[in-house]
Amino acid sequence: MMFRMVTMAAVALAIAGTAARAADPRYPDWPCTQAKVPDISLAAVWAGPPVDDVQSKWKDDAKVSALVAKLSARKTPLDEAERSVKEFLAGSAADKTANAKLLFAGLFDTLNAQRSQVMSGLERVSRKQREAADKIREEAVQLQALQSATPRDEAKVEALNNDLIWKTRIFEDRHKVVRFVCEVPTAIDQRLFALGRVIQQELE
């Protein structure tokens, strides 16, 4: 009876874990309930002066590059990041505008890259989960067959059952991690919007 319960749970888990993949047919590997937005729109997070003329120039400024790295790190509390922005932009109006453009360009490039990396990772894990779910279903069917066989090979039943329990546990753990990481792209969006707003406020 115990083996039967493990088998059915494994099948149910595998099916449930892959059911959400068709939520948006444009992105079959996207595992999150949040809609996938491939790129952050500049217009959605920035209403300040155009940054087209600076683009990657922020990388040539050591001070700006170091600050961008600090502000982009999720370990840096947002309130601390906002204070750092204000301190950096203290100065003459001309310097402030130039520095603000460089800083935002750096944040936009860096956070967009972080976001893309996280999303690509989520889709890679989603593909692994789909493969794992298929394997769990296959082994569940094999286990049911072994359980029904006469004579029944208890050693094989136990070995396959233990393997199935282990694969199911890994599947569950990975599923929990995915659910947590699914929040990261949104957090990055919010961070970029918040820092962009502070930069713009400092220019007013």
The predicted structure's pLDDT at residue 3 = 47
Amino acid found at 101:
K
Given a cut of 80, whether residue 59 has pLDDT beyond it is yes
Q: How many CB atoms lie within 10 A of CB 39?
A: 9
Q: Is the pLDDT of residue 128 over 80?
A: yes
For residue 22, pLDDT over 60 is answered with no
**91 or 49, which is more confident?**
49
Residue 117 in this model has a pLDDT that exceeds 90? yes
In this prediction, residue 204 carries a pLDDT of 80
Residue type, 40: I
- Contact yes or no for 110/69 (Cβ under 8 A): yes
> What is the rounded distance in angstroms from the CA atom of residue 62 to the CA atom of residue 65?
5
Please tell me the least confidently modeled range out of 6-10, 21-25, 62-66, 106-110.
6-10
Residue 52's pLDDT is: 86
Kindly state the average pLDDT of the residues 113-132.
Answer: 94
Please tell me the predicted confidence (pLDDT) of residue 188. Answer: 95
Element of type H or E holding 145: helix 93-148
Per-residue pLDDT band at 1 (split at 50, 70, 90): very low
Confidence of residue 90 (pLDDT cuts 50, 70, 90): confident
Give tens-digit pLDDT for 142-201.
Answer: 998 998 888 989 999 999 999 999 999 999 999 999 999 999 999 999 999 999 999 999
- Going by C-alpha positions, the residue among 87, 47, 60, 16 that lies closest to residue 196 is 47
How many other CB atoms are found less than 10 A from the CB of residue 44? Answer: 12
Calpha distance 93→192 (Å, rounded): 23
* For the chain, counts of helices (H) and of strands (E): 7, 0
Q: What is the DSSP letter of 57?
A: G
**Does 8 score more than 80 pLDDT?**
no
Given this model, what pLDDT does residue 10 score? Answer: 54
Q: Which of 5-9, 26-30, 76-80, 171-175 has the lowest mean pLDDT?
A: 5-9
Least trusted range by pLDDT, from 37-46, 61-70, 99-108: 37-46
pTM recorded for the entire structure: 0.82
Return phi, psi of residue 31, to 5°: -95, 0
